[in-house]
Structure formats: structure tokens, C-alpha cells
Amino acid sequence: MPKVRSILFCLSLAFFLDARAANTNSIAWHTATDRVSADVKGELLWPLLEDIAHQTGWHVFVEPDTERSASVKFKDLPPDEALKMLLGNLNFAFVPKTNAPSQLYVFRTVVQNATRPVLASRVVVAKQRHVANELLVKLKPGANIDALAKSVGAKVVGRNDKLGLYLLEFPDAAATDAALASLKNNPDVQSVDYNYIYDPSPTPQLYSGAAPAQPKLIADVSNPGDPCNPVVALIDTAYQPSGTSLDQFALPPISVTGEDCPPASGITHATAMYQTILNAVAQASGGHSSVKILPVNVFGCDGTANTWILALGMQAAATNGATVFNMSLGGAADSPVLDDVANQLLSQGVVIFAAAGNTPVSAPTYPAAIPGVNDVTALGQPGQLASYADFSPQVDMALPGTSIVYFGGQAYVVQGTSPATAYASGIAAGTKGENCPTWTQIQSAMQKQFAVPSQ
């Protein structure tokens, strides 16, 4: 069993949870008027703080082993007075933020001991959007897509005969829904589903702190086709060369969107993930590597991707020799069509790392939760999940959720399960290129070293 090189990353704490509207009978936190009303009896501390986090959007941290039972009733108090009533003899510190969620620290001793994040209660996972009048169909060998499309009143607007995958367009949403129900029972159809929409991952932000120096990485001679020289498919947004020595690790970018978008004004998500992957490669390989990265753009000019384009991007990556897929993206819907594409690639020996998602729930995110895919969540600090990170049972490993990268003379920070996934892909590729263990050995070792902390 190979040893995966132990890696220490510089972490910073910042969190991205959307504030959610109040919906409770016991505590009403009116953020618009900055007034709080409460009527609680015997309310334990943990659910109380979950409720506060849920209503305010604050990121709340509590000192471990702190306990309290609150029984209070008041109306229209300012937040500071309301917290004093609710928390009683416990100490608290409120840290307001302008461009990020504010933070509340609850503690018995000193504020530095308030380290355990409180997850907002009743977090709702939004239903994933889909293109209203499109379906994806994967046919069984020998089936005729044109005849099938005609039978359900659809037009074939996209086809990939190699995958047996087709995109059908319908007159309206009602016809699409009716055809979906019909095609699920068609003997020529292997799988069918909506064309789901994937929103973009968090945009890298300018970093004003003391940025660490990026690891130096020397490019070794790469022999195309050598299984010990991995190619990482960066399935993401458009990639931008940085004008530095890191550019030499990039293969010619591919775009499967069919769109010609104007250049991005700042650093793109893909560019941040590219550098994050190489930072991990540098640390896993000892500073020299033959790893190559193949940027594959699956996000259109509107900033979104969809299942059809994602499937085309995955196939294009495999066709162009990628052996590791970095998929720092995802959604709530489990598409059987995308499952089929992923399973086909996995059966060919492709290794896939995908992001678990940036909502603190136990619900799965796809494609990360597809069996065989490495489902990666994020750490906020060593041994502790980030407060925004998905913690579903399917998650395989947890890595740092913060990455600092450089572009155009500026330092940027990006946070979430996206950089955690990029770290994982880079560690796997760097380890493969260093002493060529099997992918099974690498993944097994990583799951042990980067085990998911217990909740």
C-alpha cells in the first residue's frame, strides 16, 4: 500500500450559507426591523442556536460541552438584548461582516474555545432546475432514435451515437412530462431523464491577507499514453492561462458548449481549480511531475451547465486521454443518464473526484454520490468539517475547503467543496506520477488519510 504524502494546507475560516427566512413559532428573528420576539420553555442550547443560525444566516460557533436550557418570553427586543435573555449566563461575541455571513461565538470560558460550528436547522435542499422542454435519452444498442423521437412528438437536437445518448426537444413542458412517463416504459430506452441545470460554483474573491508563496512545480518529461503519467480532466468553466510557468502543465483546452463567450473579467473558477490541483500535485510529488491538465469547458455564456453538455464534456475528456476527472460541480438530482455515462467511464478505469456540495445537509449531491465516484467534502480546519459542507453518508473523504491562488498579479481565495475536490484530484495525480501505484491503492490510502470527521 503506497503512502500518500501527508499534506498541510493553510486554512482560513469563511463560510457561505444563505440567510433563510424565519419560519418558527418559538423565536421570531425579524431581520428587516432588527427586532426579536421569543416564547421558549426548556429549550436546549443546541436546537436554540440552530434556530438562530437558520433565521439569521449567521455562522454560529459554540464551545464544546456547553449546555443550557432557556425558558424566556419577550417581544421586540434588539438582537443584543435578545441574545442576553436567550443565553443567560453564557458569554457570547457577535462579529458583524459586510461581504460574508456574520458570526456568533457562544462560550463558557474564552471566545477562542468556541470552535464547534452549529448547522442551521431545517436547511431545505432546493429541487434542481431543468430545461422545461428537453429530455435526455440513452438508447439500447440497435434502437432508432429518429423513430422514437417521432413517436413522442419530439425533435432530435443533439446526438452522440458513440454514447447512444440523445437530446430531445418538445413543444412545451406538458409534452415533455408526458413523454418522460412514456419513455420510462419503452423497451428501447436504457435511461431517460430531464436535462438538469447546474449552477456555477462560488466565484474566487480577491484576497487581502498575507498570501503564502505557491509551491514550485517542475515539469518532468511526459510520455503521452503512459499510465504513470496521468492526465487530469478539469471539467469546469473556461480556463485562462496565467502567463506563468504553471501554464506548461495545461493541454489545449476543449469547449463542448457550442458557444463563444467573451473573456472573463477576473479569474474563472476553472483557473482557480487548475492552480489548486497543481498546488496539491507539487506537495504530493515532491515538487516535480509529469502530470498534465486538460481543461474542458461545460459552462455556457449564461454561467450554467446542463446534463447534456456535462455528458459531452466527460466523453470528450476520456477521448482525449484523461484518466482522472476533477468535477468541482454538482446538483441535487440523480440523473440515470449521467449515472450511465459515469459508470461507463469508471468501467474503463477512469478515476472521478466530485464535489459533495456547499449545503450543510446529509442529502447526496450528484455526480459525487454516484457509486464509484470519489465524493469529496470540505474541512474548515483540521479534523473539523466546514460549516457549509455536505455530510451525507456517501461522502468518501474530506480535504481543506480553502485555496489561495494567483492571477494577474493578484491573490484570490476560493472556498467550498470545489477546492477540496481539486486538492483530492491533485494528490491522486501527483501520487500516481511519483511512483505509479494502482488507482485502487491511491484511492484507498486517501480515504484513510483524509477520512471524514464524525459529526
pLDDT at residue number 455: 62
pLDDT at residue number 317: 98
Residues of the chain with pLDDT under 50: 1-2, 5-25, 122
pLDDT at residue number 125: 56
pLDDT at residue number 55: 80
Identify the residue whose cell numbers are 459552462: 299
pLDDT at residue number 24: 32
Global confidence as pTM: 0.75
**Pair 439, 294: CB distance under 8 Å:** no
> pLDDT, tens digit, for every residue of 231-250?
999 999 999 999 999 999 99
Residue 37 β-bridge partners: 28
Give the separation between CA 342 and CA 235, rounded to whole angstroms. Answer: 13
> pLDDT, tens digit, for every residue of 279-316?
999 989 888 889 999 999 999 999 999 999 999 999 99
pLDDT at residue number 266: 87
**Pair 165, 314: CB distance under 8 Å:** no
